[in-house]
Chains A and B, each alone.
Chain A
């Protein structure tokens, strides 16, 4: 899920020219997207060479979007991989979803937009997005832009200035997801 090809296709759908960066020197776009699939620890290992480039967005104002694990890695750490440090772009940590229902949380769930001002959610009414995950982020600051419910409240999106995260997969969330990616492209 959330394979790079799907995100690539969705961006091309809007006429963007995405580059899949294999090395940090290839990261020179106007915007950065960190997709993500798999475990937190493995993700951080793969991301390691890119960390300085990504941290630059804290001061450069280049829009940064993290999808699923990409969002989780914005935080300081995760219960999934104890002892592994995250990017620390946002304060807080990633925890296992505290629900009595089956995990992973897979499928289409309704979004409740909490921050209407968030540019990602412009022209979007509460609708459905596609989720596949067992963990979610608990920011220490007031950064939650959207939530969903799965036997408990799950943080579905975070936003801090030029940095955006979606726990769901916009590239797999039909028209609503495409609108979110379009909003990101138009920043």
Chain B
């Protein structure tokens, strides 16, 4: 039986020589959490099913630091590694693959130039091409207010979801649900879906958003943003059919270990890889 994946995410500030793992709150305030490859090794030994590295500085000049981080990590970590942040071309992607990454994740570049998804999928295979979507709720009082958007009912009211780029600094007007369907068609092999409303709040994943997208695509969806307690992870697996849950701060600050999360999920009857 296929397991639900638990994926720790390392947001990396590459202004430091070896990189630093940091964690923002709602995409803003930043806290320091450790050295990327050291945390990655710890999570691997603790049972992480996959590890995501996001270059939050996303600058071209620091691409080499990320390459170094991945090279160092992949010497001792034998689970899939995904790298995102600032990848703009096939050449950028090739460098991280050569360093030892198994998948790359694109957001800004894909929205600005959607054909890059087709190209990445053709060059490296769909399985290596993840599209990250950062979505923000836009509330409306009635569906007609959101012209041509897919409107979803949430406990907080009706809303559509807007895609943002540049790490949440810029909004695009693009409907996240429609965009998810488009990226699948273009060859994305997975969708890393982050709720900007929930990220860093520790209030739980955005279930309506996650469900709305997961129901409309057939590629695996990774839920992200908002995980604060164990029950949030079981909730996202029980209320949606997502195949993976991503979390950052609960692991970085030692709230729970990955093993604890998985043991908890197992007691809830959720299939996870243990031991």
Contact = CB atoms under 8 A, between A and B. Distances in A.
Interface residues of A, number: 33
Interface string B97-111: 111111100000000
Given A109-B1, A171-B78, A132 B127 contact: yes
Interface stretch (A6-14, A26-34, A53-61): A6-14
Contacts of A106: 127, 189-190, 220, 243
A102 B3 CA distance: 14
A175 B2 CA distance: 18
Interface string B111-127: 00000000000000111
Nearest to B274: A128
B156 interface: no
A106 B2 CA distance: 8
A122 interface: no
B100 A3 contact: yes
A6 B78 contact: yes
A1 B76 contact: no
B78 A109 contact: no
A98 interface: no
User: For this complex, into which size category does the number of interface residues on chain B fall?
Assistant: 20 to 34
Contacts of A128: 3, 273
A37 B125 contact: yes
B1 A149 contact: yes
B44 interface: yes
Contacts of A150: 2
Contact of A177 (B3, B78, B190): B78
Interface string B1-45: 111010000000000000000000000000000000000000010
Interface in B70-101: 74-76, 78-80, 97-101
Contact of B78 (A101, A105, A173): A173
B218 interface: yes
A88 interface: no
B2 A108 contact: yes
A178 interface: yes
A5 interface: yes
Given A10-B78, A172-B79, A172-B80, 8 more contacts: A1-B103, A3-B101, A5-B100, A13-B75, A105-B2, A106-B189, A132-B127, A172-B102
Query: Closest 9 interchain pairs by CB?
Result: A128-B273, A108-B3, A108-B273, A132-B127, A5-B100, A1-B102, A109-B2, A102-B218, A172-B80
